[in-house]
Amino acid sequence: MQYFVVMIDYGRRGREAIVDPEVTRREVVARVTSGEYRNISFIHEIVESTVQDITADILSEATLPVIEAEEIDLQAARFDHLRDLRKHVADEGDMPSDHDELIRG
C-alpha cells in the first residue's frame, strides 16, 4: 500500500496532517501547484513499512516554469498607432478637432 502524508503548518494555530490513501502523487503535485496545499512542512511517501521524505521532489515538480515576458516597446507602439491615425486622416480628409490633439501627441 502506498499513500502520502502532507503536513501543513498553520503557525500558531497548529499543524494538520492530510492523509488520504486514494490520493496519488500526481494529485498531490496538482494540489501544491494550485495552491490548495500551502505552508507545507513536509510531504512523506509511505510504501509498505518505509517512509521517504519527498518534499523537495514534489515542490520541484509543482513549480511553474518561468516564462519571461517579451519586452514591449510602448513608445514604439504609441508611434505606430499615431502613424496609423495620420494615415487615416490623410485618406479620409479632416477629422473632428478633438482627434487632432490625439494625433499631434
Q: Which residues in the chain land under pLDDT 70?
A: 64-74, 91-105
Query: Residue 96 has which C-alpha cell?
Result: 473632428
Residue 24 · residue 43 · CB < 8 Å:
no
Q: What is the pLDDT of residue 95?
A: 52
Q: What is the pLDDT of residue 69?
A: 56
Q: What is the biggest distance separating any 2 CA atoms in the chain, rounded to whole angstroms?
A: 84
32-49 confidence digits (pLDDT tens): 999 899 899 999 999 999
11-21 confidence digits (pLDDT tens): 999 999 999 99
- Ranges of each domain in the chain: 2-62, 74-104
Residue 21 · residue 46 · CB < 8 Å:
no
What are the start-end ranges of the E strands in 1-105?
2-9, 15-19, 40-47, 50-53
Q: What is the pLDDT of residue 40?
A: 93
Residue 23 · residue 4 · CB < 8 Å:
yes
Q: In what order do the strands lie in the sheet with 2-9?
A: 15-19, 2-9, 40-47, 50-53
Q: What is the pLDDT of residue 105?
A: 53
